[in-house]
Amino acid sequence: MISKAKVKHLKALQVKKYRKEQQCFVVEGAKSVVELLASDFDVLWVAGTASFISMHERLLQNKNVEWVVATESELIAAGSFQTNDGALAVTRMKNNAAPALKQHELILALDDIRDPGNLGTIIRTADWYGIKHIIASAETADLYNAKVITATMGSFCRVEVFYTNLVEFLTTYTGTIYGAFMDGVDVHTVNFSEGGLLVIGNEANGISTAVKKLITQKITIPRIGEAESLNAAIATGIILDVITLSKK
């Protein structure tokens, strides 16, 4: 059973202000909690159904995590989603530290991606294509928002997101800076063998003026039909697929 104090804590962590103050966040859903327990995140405690606890007891013991048995209805009431297939967890945030980037590494940069679902999907897509680092503007959606965490399907455990002043970061970056635009060079014709940094812009306004000035190479996905634009997460996936195929 989840205590009243723990339920209160879970509800508080649904608010960004309290997540920031307490440096903790909530992970919901059996798959994501299992991914979390297998990661290097510092997990504080887990609530799970009897079947979840039984199935993953060794993982919980290895992680030395406090856990409580809860019914599915308790998990739903304590969490932020209408369904929960087995577990939720409270864990500490990681420090927002600048990543150690490798030579010729391909990196994503997000310029004011506001939609939590888009951010989560981009992180999951980045993980699929082996991207390890994402540089996010301060205005980009909060990584630890429950909708972001859920949309990543556990990929937040493997992809590092660093929030910073994007203009300042790009000013000091020495590699090629690619930007996704409507009027760039066909992405299929670009050589990505030396890696670089790919900037994806805001859902409604694209890449901001300040960031645009720092773009080395404007690229685009050729349009065949009549759609006005592509969703930011979809565009990211297409470009990463083209880059992956170009390296084979």
Task: List, for residues 73-101, the tens digit of each pLDDT value.
Answer: 999 999 888 888 899 999 999 999 999 99
Whole-number pLDDT of residue 248: 62
Whole-number pLDDT of residue 151: 95
Whether 156 and 132 have beta carbons less than 8 Å apart is answered as no
- Residue 145's SS3 state is coil
Of 141, 136, 133, 211, nearest to 178 by C-alpha is 211
CATH topology of domain 4-92: 60s Ribosomal Protein L30; Chain: A; (3.30.1330)
Whether 153 and 32 have beta carbons less than 8 Å apart is answered as yes
Strands (E), the chain: 24-28, 43-48, 66-69, 87-92, 106-110, 133-137, 160-164, 177-186, 196-200, 217-220
Task: List, for residues 120-155, the tens digit of each pLDDT value.
Answer: 999 999 999 999 999 999 999 999 999 999 999 999
Q: Can you give the length of the chain in residues?
A: 248
Domain ranges of the chain: 4-92, 106-246
Q: With 70 as the cut, is the pLDDT of residue 210 above it? A: yes
End-to-end Cα spacing for the chain: 52
What is the model's pTM? 0.94
Whole-number pLDDT of residue 29: 93
Whether 26 and 79 have beta carbons less than 8 Å apart is answered as yes
Non-local (6+) Cβ contacts of 221 within 8 A are: 180, 187, 230, 235, 238, 239, 242
**How large is the average pLDDT for residues 187-198?**
93
Task: List, for residues 53-77, the tens digit of each pLDDT value.
Answer: 999 999 999 889 999 999 999 999 9
Q: At what angle do helices 232-246 and 116-128 cross, to 10 degrees?
A: 10
**How large is the average pLDDT for residues 235-246?**
92
Task: List, for residues 102-126, the tens digit of each pLDDT value.
Answer: 989 999 999 999 999 999 999 999 9
The CATH code belonging to domain 106-246 is 3.40.1280.10
